[in-house]
Structure 1
Amino acid sequence: MTVPGIDSVDLTTPSASADPFSVFRALREGDPVHWSEAHRAWLITRYDDVSAAFQNKAFSNDRVRPVLERKRQAGAESAATGVLGLMTGWMVVNDPPVHTRLRKLAAGAFKGQRIAAMDEMITRIVDEHLDAFLRGSGPQDLISEVAYPLPATVIATMLGAPPEDRDRFREWSDELALVAFGTGGAARADRHERALRGLREMESYFHTLIGKRRAEPGEDMLSALMAKEGDDRLTDDELVGMCALLLFAGHETTTNSIANSVLALLRHPDQLDRLRRDPALIGPAVEELLRFDGPIKVLNRWVVAETEVRGKTIRPGERVHLVLASANRDPEKFADPDTLDLGRSPNPHVAFGKGIHACIGAQLARMETRIAVARIVERLPGLALAEEPEWKDVLASRSMEKLVVTHS
C-alpha cells in the first residue's frame, strides 16, 4: 500500500527521533500495519493491534536466537555472535516453557511487598543525588547528575553490591545499551566488542557475588533470587543472566522514564503547577507521563507462524515492531491522546508491555520514577529548561542525550 509521506518510514532519523508522534499519527491513519524497508520489519501502530499482538503466539519473543543462528550459518563468528550467545538465556528473549520457568523462579524477588519496602532506600538515594545537583549552579544536565546514576545505584544496592562498585554497574549498562539500542558515530563500529568485554567482566563479577551470597545470604534481591521454588532453583548461570537483565533493563528504562517525565512537565507548566498543588497526584501522574512519552518506543518480535493483521499477511521469518509509543497515543483508545492530563483515568497504557512478557520490574521502575519526579518537583521549585534537548537517533528507546536545566 502506498501512502503519501510514509512510504519509507525510518524511526531513527533525526526528525523522527525528535518528533516520532507525527510519524505515528500518519501510520495509524494511513497504514497501521506498515512494512518498513528501512527496518526490514512490520510496524504495528494501533492500540488494539499492539495489544492483540502480545497474545498472538505467531509473534515470538525468542528473537535473539534466530539472529545468532543466521550469523553462524553465514560463518560470521565475531564479537556480535559472542554477545548474542550470552544473551540467549535471558528471560525476556525466551518463550514458554523456558520463560515460564524463569519468570516463576524470579517472581519471589519482585513481590509487591519487597518492592514497596524499598521506598525509604530509593528516597535516600534520590535525595543524595539531588543534594549534589543543588550544590551546582548555572545550567546543569539533570540526566547525567540525577536520572542516569540513580537506577544503577538502586540496582547495585538491591543486589547487595558494595557502594564502591556502582560506577562499574553504570559502565556495564552502557556497554549493553550500545547493542540493544545502538549509537551513532564512531562508537557504532566497535559496539559489539565493547559489549562483549563488558558482559564478560559483568559475568565474572556476578559469579563472585553469587558465591558470597550463597555463603552468607542477606536481605538483598540476589539472595531472594536464590530461593527454591519446590525442587527447582536458578542455576548460577541463570542468576548471572537475571542480574544482567535487571541491570540492563532497569537502568536504561528508568533513566528515560524520569527524564522524559520531567521534560513533559516543563513543557506543560499547567500540569506541573497542578502536581505542585496536589503532590498526592503523583501516582496517576506517573502513569500519564508513561503513556504520554514513555521510555520505550518499540518492542521487537520474531514471526514463527503465518498470521494476518488488518488484512496484511505476516510470514514466518519476518520481524514485527510493536510501536508502544504510538499505541499509547491512539485516539481510538485515549480521548485527546496528545494532551497531557495528570489525572487521566482510566489509563490502560502499554508502556511496560502486556501479557506474560510484561516487564517484571515495572513496579520498581514506577516506584523509582514516582519518587524521583516527586522529589524533583518538591526540591527544585525554580526548575526551568535551559536548552532544547537532543534526542538519540535510536529505534527501541525514547531517550535524550541531555536534559539541561536551571534551578533557583
Structure 2
Amino acid sequence: MSKLANNQTAPLEFNPRSPQFRANPYPTYDYLRTHHPIYYRSERNDWVLTRYDDIVEVFRNPSFGRSQQKPKLQTANQQPINHFLSLRQESQQLMKLWLVLLNPPDHTRIRHLLRNPFTPSRIQTLRSHISANVNNFIDGVKNSGKVDIIKDLAYPLALGVNCKILGIPEQEWHPRFKQWSDNLSIIADVDVTPIANEQGLLTIAGLAEYFRSWIAKCRSCSQPQDNLIGSLIEAEANGEISEEELLGTCIFMFAVGHSSTANLIGNTILTLLNHPQQLYLLQADPSLIETTISEVLRYESPVQGISRTALSDIQLSNQTIHRGEVVNCIIAAANRDPAKFLEPNKFDIRRKPNPYLSFGQGIHNCIGKHLGRLVAEIAVGTVVKRLPELSIATESFEWDDSFLGRGLKSLPVIF
C-alpha cells in the first residue's frame, strides 16, 4: 500500500485540535480503522494507527522508540543570548530527559530508580489515606446538593496523592500547580500549536525553579526522605542519576502523576451517569468497581494515544515506515477494535476479559497504573455509594484542550 493510496481524504476528519472532534472522536476512529488503519498524513509526515494488533506490534517492537537525539546540556562557560532564551533552551533540554522520551539504556536505568513507590504492595498502603480523603470530601459537600466532580474532587485528590508519592506536603504546594498541569498536558500533544509549545516550555522553566528549591531543601534534611524525590536524591549521590536527570524526572513525574488519574475519575462518573443501568449494577454490587474502572479505561480512555518513532525502516502490515517517522498509536481506537472486543461500542462493566491498551505495553507501560486504578476505584466507588441520587447538572461539556489526555474541564453534578 503506498502512502498516496493510503492518504485518500477521509470523510471524517482526523483533527486533534478540533473541539468538535474531541467531543466525540470515536466515529472517526471507526472509519479510519475500517478504511485507513495505517493512515499517512503528508502534511505532518507521520502516521495514525487505529488497529489493535498494529499498535501492540509498535509497543512491543524495539525498532519503535523515541527520537535518539541526545539533549545538549549547556556548559558553565557558554553565555546565553538572553535570560528568556536561556530558560527556553534549558526547558527543551529537561524535557528530552523525561522518562517517556528516553530509549534504553537510559530509560531502563531511570525507570529502575522509580519502581519502589509504585509496587502494588506500596500502593496498597495508601488505601486508607485515599479513602479518608474521599469520605472527608463527601462529608463536606453532602448538604450542598451539588459539586463539580473534576474541580472539587478528582483533581485535588489526584494531585494530593501524587504529591504524597513525590514527598511534597500540601503547605509546600505552589499556587500555580493547576495552571502548570494544564500547560504540560498539551506540550507533548499531537499537532501541538506554537503558542501551546511556548507555554509548555515556560511551565517547565517554572517547575524547574520550584523543584530546584525543593530539592535543595530536601538535601538539607538530616534524615533520609522516604519518598520518590528522596530516593532520587540518594540515587544522585550514588552516581546513578545526574543532577539534570534528577530535575527532569521530578518535573516529568509531577506532569504525568495526576492529570490522567483525575480524568479517569471524571470519565468514569460521566460514563456511568450516561449509562444508568450500568450505574445501578455497580450500586447493587460494589465488587464490580474493578471491572468498571477497566471498562472505562477501554471505553473512554483518559489517554487517547501514544506516539513512537521508527528507529529504522520497518514493515508494519505491509506498509513501510521509514526511520525517523512518527507513528501515533491511537489506543482509544484500538480499545474499540471489533477484531479484539465483542460489541466494542457497548459499555459493559462486567466485561471479561478486557485487554485494554490504556496503560500501554512493553517497556513504556505506565509506571503508575496500579496507583491510578486504586485512586479511581476508591473515589468512584465511594461517590456512587454515598451519593446514590447523583445526576448530571449540565447539558454541554467542554473537553480539555489536550487530545492525547482526554478529560472534562468540569463535571457539575447534583444529588
TM-score by length of 1: 0.88
CA shift at 1:132, angstroms?
A: 3.6
Residue of structure 1 equivalent to 2:116: 108
Residue of structure 2 equivalent to 1:367: 374
1:64·1:93 contact (CA, 8 Å) conserved in 2?
Answer: no
Indicate yes or no: 2:185 matched with 1:177.
yes
CA shift at 1:142, angstroms?
A: 1.4
**In the TM superposition, what whole-angstrom CA distance separates every residue of 1:132-191 from its partner, at most 9, and x where no partner exists?**
4435344x4211111111111112222332221235444443342342349999974851
3-state SS, counterpart of residue 308 of structure 2? strand
**Which deviates more from structure 2 when the two are superposed, residues 345-354 or residues 194-203?**
194-203
Measured in 1, the distance between the counterparts of 2:225 and 2:288 equals 35
Measured in 2, the distance between the counterparts of 1:189 and 1:299 equals 18
3-state SS, counterpart of residue 16 of structure 1? helix
2:291·2:350 contact (CA, 8 Å) conserved in 1?
Answer: yes
Distance change >3 Å, CA 225–CA 275, structure 1 → 2: farther
Indicate yes or no: 2:215 matched with 1:210.
no
3-state SS, counterpart of residue 400 of structure 1? coil
CA shift at 1:290, angstroms?
A: 0.6
Measured in 2, the distance between the counterparts of 1:290 and 1:392 equals 17
TM-score by length of 2: 0.86
Residue of structure 2 equivalent to 1:152: 159
Measured in 2, the distance between the counterparts of 1:198 and 1:237 equals 15
CA shift at 1:58, angstroms?
A: 2.5
Measured in 2, the distance between the counterparts of 1:51 and 1:394 equals 23
Residue of structure 1 equivalent to 2:128: 120
Residue of structure 2 equivalent to 1:321: 328
Residue of structure 1 equivalent to 2:280: 273
3-state SS, counterpart of residue 405 of structure 2? coil
Residue of structure 1 equivalent to 2:79: none
Indicate yes or no: 2:24 matched with 1:16.
no
Indicate yes or no: 2:278 matched with 1:262.
no
Distance change >3 Å, CA 148–CA 321, structure 1 → 2: same
3-state SS, counterpart of residue 359 of structure 1? coil
Residue of structure 2 equivalent to 1:284: 291
Measured in 1, the distance between the counterparts of 2:197 and 2:10 equals 31
CA shift at 1:193, angstroms?
A: 5.2
3-state SS, counterpart of residue 110 of structure 2? helix
Indicate yes or no: 2:57 matched with 1:52.
yes
CA shift at 1:404, angstroms?
A: 1.8
Residue of structure 2 equivalent to 1:89: 97
Distance change >3 Å, CA 317–CA 67, structure 1 → 2: farther
Measured in 2, the distance between the counterparts of 1:321 and 1:58 equals 15
**Which deviates more from structure 2 when the two are superposed, residues 11-20 or residues 172-181?**
172-181
Q: How does 1:330-369 map to 2 (within 5 A)?
A: 330-369=337-376
Quick one: which of 402, 406, 411 aligns to 1:403? Answer: 411
CA shift at 1:301, angstroms?
A: 1.2
Measured in 1, the distance between the counterparts of 2:242 and 2:87 equals 25
Measured in 1, the distance between the counterparts of 2:350 and 2:72 equals 43
3-state SS, counterpart of residue 130 of structure 2? helix
Measured in 1, the distance between the counterparts of 2:70 and 2:32 equals 30
**In the TM superposition, what whole-angstrom CA distance separates every residue of 1:13-61 from its partner, at most 9, and x where no partner exists?**
1221011110000000001000124654200110000001012223222
**Which deviates more from structure 2 when the two are superposed, residues 273-282 or residues 49-58?**
49-58
Quick one: which of 215, 225, 248 aligns to 2:255? Answer: 248
CA shift at 1:200, angstroms?
A: 2.4
Residue of structure 1 equivalent to 2:199: 191
3-state SS, counterpart of residue 54 of structure 1? helix
Distance change >3 Å, CA 164–CA 64, structure 1 → 2: farther
Measured in 1, the distance between the counterparts of 2:72 and 2:245 equals 21
Distance change >3 Å, CA 110–CA 54, structure 1 → 2: same
Distance change >3 Å, CA 7–CA 312, structure 1 → 2: farther
CA shift at 1:291, angstroms?
A: 0.7
Distance change >3 Å, CA 184–CA 109, structure 1 → 2: closer
Measured in 1, the distance between the counterparts of 2:44 and 2:338 equals 26
1:83·1:196 contact (CA, 8 Å) conserved in 2?
Answer: yes
3-state SS, counterpart of residue 338 of structure 1? coil
- Letter aligned with residue 176 of structure 1: L
3-state SS, counterpart of residue 265 of structure 1? helix
Distance change >3 Å, CA 130–CA 65, structure 1 → 2: farther
Residue of structure 2 equivalent to 1:26: 31
Distance change >3 Å, CA 170–CA 206, structure 1 → 2: farther
3-state SS, counterpart of residue 349 of structure 2? coil
1:182·1:188 contact (CA, 8 Å) conserved in 2?
Answer: no
Distance change >3 Å, CA 98–CA 190, structure 1 → 2: closer
3-state SS, counterpart of residue 173 of structure 2? helix
Distance change >3 Å, CA 178–CA 232, structure 1 → 2: same
* Stretches of structure 1 lacking an aligned partner (at least 5 in a row): 69-75
**In the TM superposition, what whole-angstrom CA distance separates every residue of 1:358-406 from its partner, at most 9, and x where no partner exists?**
0111111111111111111112111111113122343311122221211
2:211·2:250 contact (CA, 8 Å) conserved in 1?
Answer: no
Quick one: which of 392, 395, 402 aligns to 2:400? Answer: 392
**Which deviates more from structure 2 when the two are superposed, residues 51-60 or residues 183-192?**
183-192
Percent identity of paired positions between Structure 1 and Structure 2: 32
Calculate the aligned-residue CA RMSD, in Å: 2.9
